[in-house]
Amino acid sequence: DTAVSQTPKYLVTQMGNDKSIKCEQNLGHDTMYWYKQDSKKFLKIMFSYNNKELIINETVPNRFSPKSPDKAHLNLHINSLELGDSAVYFCASSRIGQVANEQFFGPGTRLTVL
C-alpha cells in the first residue's frame, strides 16, 4: 500500500497556465508538507499544514496556494506558471505536528514549464 501518493507524477505545461498537484497520505498523520527540489537537487520546505491549518509558509510567491480539505490531503495549486517553477515537488507527512517526528515522502511530481 502506498503511504504518501502524489498525482500526477509528471506535468508538462506552458508558461502562464494554472496547474494543481494532489497529495494523499494513508498513514493517519496530522501534518503534511510540500517541498521543492530544484535542478541542483537542493530540497527546501514550501508549506506545512497541521490538521488542515497552515503552520509554515516559507517565502514562496503567492502564485502558489496550498489547500488541505482534510488532514489526509494536501494539494498545491500554482497560478501563472513561470519557467523558474520547473522542479520536482515532493509531498511529505509526519505523525505529530507539535513535536518533530519522522517525515515520509511521496514519489514526487516533476513539473516542466515550457
Partner 1 sequence: GIQVEQSPPDLILQEGANSTLRCNFSDSVNNLQWFHQNPWGQLINLFYIPSGTKQNGRLSATTVATERYSLLYISSSQTTDSGVYFCAVAGSNDYKLSFGAGTTVTVRA
Which residues are at the interface with partner 1 (CB under 8 A)?
A: 31, 33, 35, 40-45, 48, 50, 55-56, 58, 88, 90, 92, 94, 97, 99-105, 107-108, 110
Question: How many angstroms separate the CA atoms of 59 and 12, rounded?
Answer: 24
Of 18 and 53, which CB lies nearer to partner 1 in the complex structure? 53
Q: At its nearest, how many Å lie between partner 1 and the CB of residue 99?
A: 7
d(CA 90, CA 107): 7
Task: Output the smallest distance, CB 55 to partner 1, in A.
Answer: 6
Q: Which is nearer to partner 1, 45 or 72 (CB)?
A: 45
Q: In angstroms, what is the minimal distance from the CB of 12 to partner 1?
A: 16
Measure CA of the first residue to CA of the last residue in the chain; give whole Å.
34
Are the beta carbons of 14 and 113 closer than 8 angstroms? Answer: yes
CB closer to partner 1, 14 vs 59: 59
Interatomic CA distance for residues 112 and 47, integer angstroms: 20
CA distance 114 to 107: 22
